[in-house]
Amino acid sequence: MTFLLIDHLVRVYEPSGPEETGELFDEIVREILPTGHSGQALWIRPRGEGEDVSARTFSNRYDGNGEGLRVEIDVDAGRAALTWLPDDSIAVELPPGDPLRIMWSIDAPVITVPGGRARTSAATARRAVLEYLASGRRPRTGIVWTPPPEAAPATVDGASRHRDGGAPCDPVPDSDLPKRLEY
């Protein structure tokens, strides 16, 4: 299965595997944005068979029709919000913390991700992305998935679906994932 990594500027990457994805992830999340910080959103999803990425609309590039993983991350804050797009569930590793201010997309304002959604460390977000690429399934290592808090919708328009349809999978051992930066 081939995956796409899409950043907030709608730059679409098609990494060759987990190692290249890890390097791209590290590079992208450390970019200093016009806000003066590095907080931003990334989408990781399967590439559709025969999909011409250049012909897709912005919204389809992002959500992949409800497939994949969204990462809202601020490495300066050391926190991230992981959303499993098929059911809008959020990853939980840590207790709620401070909200994150992130750049959602090139054509959207800076948004605030409530602390109740930003429940993983930046390092765990990276590990989850690599696990997703290795397994093609919802990451499980070191996190649990829960419906998003009602007061903290997962999407810009405030829509939130509460379906629990994530299939369980065996976690990928850390030893099988490429190592690079520690956050």
pLDDT tens-digit series, residues 99-155 = 999 988 777 778 899 999 999 999 999 999 999 999 999 999 899 999 987 644 433
**Could you give the dihedral angle defined by the CA atoms of residues 54, 109, 145 and 176, in that order, rounded to the nearest 10 degrees?**
50
Sort strands 89-92 and 100-103 into parallel, antiparallel or unpaired: unpaired
Query: Is 75 part of any domain?
Result: yes
Q: Give the pLDDT confidence score for residue 168 in this predicted structure.
A: 33
Query: Is 96 part of any domain?
Result: yes
Question: What secondary structure does DSSP assign to 74-97, as a single string?
Answer: ETTTTEEEEEETTTTEEEESS---
Q: Give the pLDDT confidence score for residue 160 in this predicted structure.
A: 34
Q: Is 73 helix (H, G, I), strand (E, B) or coil?
A: strand
Number of domains into which the chain is organized: 1
Residue range of the domain that includes 85:
3-152
Nearest alpha carbon to residue 140 among 151, 152, 130 = 130
pTM above threshold 0.95: no
Report d(CA 163, CA 142) in Å as an integer: 22
Query: Is 174 part of any domain?
Result: no
Question: What integer best gives the mean pLDDT of the chain?
Answer: 77
Query: Is 165 part of any domain?
Result: no
